[in-house]
Structure 1
Amino acid sequence: MKNPIAITSIASFSPLGKTTNEVWKEYLNPRTLIVEKKIGVNLNFVARLSDDLTTEVQLLRNSESKYKSLDNSVLYAILASREALKHAGWNDSKFGINIGSSRGATHLFEKNYKEFLESGKVATLTSPTTTLGNISTWVAQDLKSKGPELSHSITCSTALHALLNGIAWLQAGMAEKFLVGGSEAPLTAFTVAQMHALKIYASNEAFHQAQCDNFKGRHKQEPQCQSELVEDLLYYPCRALDLGKTKNSMVLGEGAAMACLELGKHKNALAYVTGFGYATDDLKHSISITDEAECFQKSMKMALQNVSLEEVDVVVMHAPGTIKGDKSEYKAIQKVFGKNLPMLTTNKWKVGHTFGASGMLNIEMAILMMQQQQFIGVPFVTEENPRKAIRNVLINAVGFGGNAVSVLLSKS
């Protein structure tokens, strides 16, 4: 790294909560936040915001007329960004913004398109409220920033690419501070149906059958195949990082996460970015990665080129809960680290896959583990290589197209 990059604040707005204490408390709880909800006409596994956070979104929407027509992806970003700035103590407007989203104004676009199909007409604000740049623009307006406003979609690695962009601007001397992150509100019938079409989404039927089989084995009686009758069993529809699973188990979540970046050493730094890497797989088709995730091998090696492998204590994996996605990333980690693997974890068993926001939620998880000096693992996976301290954490993200990013964080 040319100069140290400090993360002086991080804030999120997700099913985990919105304050640091709420998020950490949820990570300490071994139960998942994934539940069954009707999305469209079908029951699906999803991780949704709590009722309190949903109310907060609605209050923001109703606070001023200009917010009424905005998609949830924009409102989530505004709420998370306000908190990030407050905790960083940024009192001026001299900062840049780069917020990404895999799909942008998903709900609003689908709603407006449905109205168009039915009536042949669209609402006046359809175009300006569904453009990809809509999120960063509205966050900039809300925070009264005077720096550059950038938006992009690089699918599920979007938030970490936003962090890379922020670093580039800071290292080039083109900005003093940068707000970076991702926001996603993908819990719509059409989006969930797309994941089912790819055959990667968690199946209700398969999950309930597995629960019943588990119940029979434990209690030696014939239960009805309903999850409420096996509530004594921990409820994990998304089996992220379970390398022995035989069914894909990805589940969608929603939320936003933002970090404040500053150049150099800072007393209030939560962590420092001490390495980063990026790479793209040579794909045979548009949605998968290679069997040994060559993109991750390259991005991790690039991020770790100035640190000894033995110094990396944890890898927060992308691990979406799919058979191939989890196994290929694990193989890539084996290729890079050999037999002495760091501790491995992911949060998607807990909060689902939040697409463009997922990378920054992983950054938040990494920072919390370093602050608390406590590893948060996956409840149904046994950690084989425990470390005594958490000083350096590598965070991975990859999206459709095989575009991987790896970021190394070090304790401040």
Structure 2
Amino acid sequence: MTKGNADEYIIIRGRGRVSALGDQAFPASSESPFSVHPNGLPVAALPDATEAALAELRRAHPAYRQLDRTVLLAMLAARQAATEARWHTVRDPTPSPSPPGEGCVQQHLTTGTPLPEGRGWGQGNPPSLSVSIGSSRGATHHLEHYHEEFLREGSVPAAASPLTTLGNVASWVAFDAGSTDGAVLSHSSTCSSAFQALGNAVAWLRAGMAERYLAGGAEAPLTEFTLAQMQAIGIYSPFAADAWPCRPGAGRPSTFTLGEGAAVFALEKVAADIAAAEVATTPQQPLFRLESVGFGFEAIGSKTGISPDGRHFQTAMQQALQQAGRKPSEVDALVLHSPGTPAGDAAELAAVRAVFGEKQPLLLSNKWLVGHTLGASAALNLDFALQVLETQQWPVAPFSTYLATATEQPIRRILVNAAGFGGNAASALVSLL
């Protein structure tokens, strides 16, 4: 990705999140947010209040009743981000029950009629809205359900295909937003998927190909089959749900713990002088700048493995810094990918040492709070970073780890890491103006 114009900033206007912490970035209590899945494994599932919000969203439109949980999570987070950005929503009280076409939000699939007036964010002729959503597995619940139905009945309903493709995650977010003229893209690059979406959004905004962008990640992987896959790799945590089962930076044993969630960001390109004026006139309103998104790749023998020195992490971090024109010493904190696996945590730490030397930034993580949400994890990491920038504090892990506990220095710039199977990594650099 090329460098942006120094006179223009990519601003995060709003953000929304859904996780085991509900719609909060930090926990409201000192109790573990993890619960026990019906199969006995600890998981980071949504709390009751968020489940109720998800159920309400499902009832908001007749077509939403058929959507996969991953899609609904993305929509819920996107609505929060748009509300915070003041991209207000005005919905039609009698929406058409027909769903949008796959990858196309301009017309309904079956009738071909225009979208109803008054639905979506904004009124009149608002700026065009584009959407990029990352997800490792997409419509996991629906895909497994339809496959089980096929094995049992020998047939599947016609809706199975459009409702299980990865593209339907972003297209439904766009449909809910009333977008009719922006890009609608879904991305999958395992656990760095959300940053693939974010990087795409930054590139489009910088190039003038988009005016407003909703970008992030969503994942609802708490199914029997997906959990069994994580167990098969041999990395799942042995700790109980109430004993903080996910422990990044704690060493052995492996403490990978699966979670579900989403985080979406409302992005705009703003002239640097206008952004500075906003900060001066409304200092009580934090304004975040997304400075860069860097990527790193390496060829490795095992598709589930990682090089001991985390070369893909090194490349991603270095690229993010170079794009932003920043030195390593200008980074105050680093939100690690930190999956809680000994090999993964050690490789990332080695990469941090290679890039930053002896003067490392504060090392932070939120996976001990929300679990590993696969394709949504990078987005939730970034949301956590923004909360740290806004509040200048963070919760302290209740177990032995190398994660930072406190600082006396102000935190103005944070680097955020993500990585996935297959040797890919991504890093995003964000700062407080």
Task: Give the TM-score normalised by the residue count of structure 2.
Answer: 0.83
1:314 paired to 2:320: no
Match of 1:353 among 345, 353, 372: 372
Encode CA deviations 1:131-173: one digit per residue, 9 max, x unaligned. Answer: 1101111111111012110011111001111110001101111
Match of 2:247 among 239, 247, 254: 239
Q: Is the 8 A contact 2:13 2:268 kept in 1?
A: yes
Q: Give the aligned partner of residue 97 of structure 2.
A: none
Q: Give the aligned partner of residue 89 of structure 1.
A: 86
What value does the CA root-mean-square deviation take over the aligned residues?
1.7
Encode CA deviations 1:74-123: one digit per residue, 9 max, x unaligned. Answer: 11111111111111122236111001110000011101100100010112
Q: Give the aligned partner of residue 106 of structure 1.
A: 140
Q: Is the 8 A contact 2:17 2:264 kept in 1?
A: yes
1:263 paired to 2:269: yes
Deviation, structure 1 residue 68: 1.3
Match of 1:47 among 34, 44, 47: 44
Deviation, structure 1 residue 403: 0.9
1:393 paired to 2:414: yes
Runs of 4 or more above 6 Å deviation = none
Q: Give the aligned partner of residue 94 of structure 2.
A: none
* Aligned 1:1-400 pairs, distance under 5 A: 1-3=3-5, 4-18=9-23, 22-26=24-28, 29-38=29-38, 42-90=39-87, 91=122, 92=126, 94-146=128-180, 147-203=182-238, 207=239, 235-242=243-250, 245-264=251-270, 265=272, 266=275, 267=278, 270-305=287-322, 306-380=325-399, 381=401, 383=404, 386-400=407-421
Deviation, structure 1 residue 37: 2.3
SS of alignment partner, residue 25 of structure 2: helix
**Cα separation, partners in 2 of 1:282 and 1:122, compared to 1, 3 Å:** same
Encode CA deviations 1:216-269: one digit per residue, 9 max, x unaligned. Answer: xxxxxxxxxxx8xxxxxx722111121xx3211101110111001111244366
Q: Distance in 2 between matches of 1:361 and 1:154?
A: 16
Q: Distance in 2 between matches of 1:384 and 1:366?
A: 15
Identity of aligned residues (%): 42
Q: Give the aligned partner of residue 430 of structure 2.
A: 409
Q: Is the 8 A contact 2:132 2:214 kept in 1?
A: yes
**Cα separation, partners in 2 of 1:236 and 1:25, compared to 1, 3 Å:** closer
Structure 1 unaligned blocks of 5 or more: 209-226, 228-233
**Cα separation, partners in 2 of 1:385 and 1:144, compared to 1, 3 Å:** closer
Encode CA deviations 1:168-217: one digit per residue, 9 max, x unaligned. Answer: 101111111111001100000000000000001112xxx36xxxxxxxxx
Deviation, structure 1 residue 391: 0.5
The one-letter code matched in structure 1 to 2:266 is: C
Q: Is the 8 A contact 1:241 1:378 kept in 2?
A: no
Q: Is the 8 A contact 1:241 1:345 kept in 2?
A: no
Deviation, structure 1 residue 279: 0.9
SS of alignment partner, residue 240 of structure 1: coil
Deviation, structure 1 residue 377: 4.2
Deviation, structure 1 residue 277: 1.3
Structure 2 unaligned blocks of 5 or more: 88-121, 279-284
Task: Give the TM-score normalised by the residue count of structure 1.
Answer: 0.87
Q: Is the 8 A contact 1:286 1:400 kept in 2?
A: yes
SS of alignment partner, residue 23 of structure 1: coil
**Cα separation, partners in 2 of 1:308 and 1:299, compared to 1, 3 Å:** same
Q: Distance in 1 between matches of 2:164 and 2:213?
A: 24
Q: Distance in 2 between matches of 1:384 and 1:130?
A: 42
Deviation, structure 1 residue 25: 4.5
SS of alignment partner, residue 57 of structure 2: helix
Q: Distance in 2 between matches of 1:274 and 1:60?
A: 33
The one-letter code matched in structure 1 to 2:321 is: L
Q: Is the 8 A contact 1:158 1:182 kept in 2?
A: yes
**Cα separation, partners in 2 of 1:395 and 1:181, compared to 1, 3 Å:** same
Q: Distance in 1 between matches of 2:235 and 2:69?
A: 25
Q: Distance in 2 between matches of 1:247 and 1:401?
A: 23
**Cα separation, partners in 2 of 1:104 and 1:342, compared to 1, 3 Å:** same
Deviation, structure 1 residue 387: 4.9
Q: Distance in 1 between matches of 2:362 and 2:408?
A: 7
Deviation, structure 1 residue 65: 2.1
Q: Give the aligned partner of residue 218 of structure 1.
A: none
Q: Is the 8 A contact 2:127 2:212 kept in 1?
A: no
**Cα separation, partners in 2 of 1:121 and 1:371, compared to 1, 3 Å:** same
Higher helix residue share: 1
Q: Distance in 2 between matches of 1:377 and 1:319?
A: 15
Q: Distance in 1 between matches of 2:258 and 2:86?
A: 33
Q: Distance in 1 between matches of 2:162 and 2:127?
A: 24
